[in-house]
Amino acid sequence: MAQSDNKKSDKKDKAAGSQNSGQRKPQASGMPLFYSNPEPLEVKKHTGLSLRKNFGFGFTHDVNAVPINLVEMPQVCHSYPIAFSPDGNATPVAILGLRDNENLFVDSQGQWERGSYVPAYIRRYPFIFSEMPAKDQLTLCVDNVDNVIEKSNEQPFFSADGTPSELSKNALEFCKSYHFAAQETLEFSRALQASGLLIDREAQIRLPGNRVINFSGFKIISAAKLAEMDDHTFLEWRKKDWLRHVYAHLFSGVQWNRLTALLNERLEKEAA
């Protein structure tokens, strides 16, 4: 998601890039968002290692949009605008910020905005499934980076006898649920892309001091085109329980005002 600001200042740009909770890391080329060194979770390699306690959400500091699953949309719409990627995949995303490389829902200490739903893609980190084509199976992986993993017994991946800890078991179940939800989302996204309901959209955000931010590079569902959907397709989408997610997307449009308010608060702090 991209933005342009017709009245940028050096002070603003510097402040937006300087808030660092100490937990950001470079994005590795070709890796999923947030991940830089995912590797299969194995007894031999990870016994004696633990997940750091309270490593926070600082790893999300530099993103202004994150993928979401279909099942989350009724919850996401209460906190964030929901949009769809413009790349032909129609991936649903939660909009987290209005400026490039800025998440308005995480502070400099890596704490998430109180009362706001945290998308599953973020809560899943640092675990992820990796496809192993040779074995035709999914393998649980963990992002092996120093700010996430430590040598201790605080939150171990494996117990002393080599069996998976509760942490690893819970991570496995969460990734299973996420994978299933992602497959459902993919089916919906393909149908949505083919439906002709999506239109390009640009949000124009007006800020104090005659500043205007043009936030572009995303698609939304046209309410007008949805009203013209043929009965057969409408009933099919209703049977698949897609309509309530479509309406959640439409309702989420009110959250652009919330993003504007959060950005104004941050600009005031930067100017102080």
Q: Give me the tens of pLDDT residue by residue for the chain, a chain 272 residues long.
A: 654 444 433 333 333 322 233 344 455 557 899 999 999 999 999 999 999 998 899 999 999 999 999 999 999 999 999 999 999 999 999 999 999 999 999 999 999 999 999 999 999 999 999 865 555 688 999 999 999 999 999 999 999 999 999 999 999 999 999 999 999 999 999 999 999 999 999 888 888 777 888 888 999 999 999 999 999 999 999 999 999 999 999 999 999 999 999 999 999 888 87
Report the predicted TM-score, pTM, of the whole model to 2 decimal places.
Answer: 0.86
Q: Containing H/E element for 247?
A: helix 243-251
d(CA 5, CA 99): 8
d(CA 116, CA 253): 16
Quick check: helix, strand or coil at residue 183?
helix
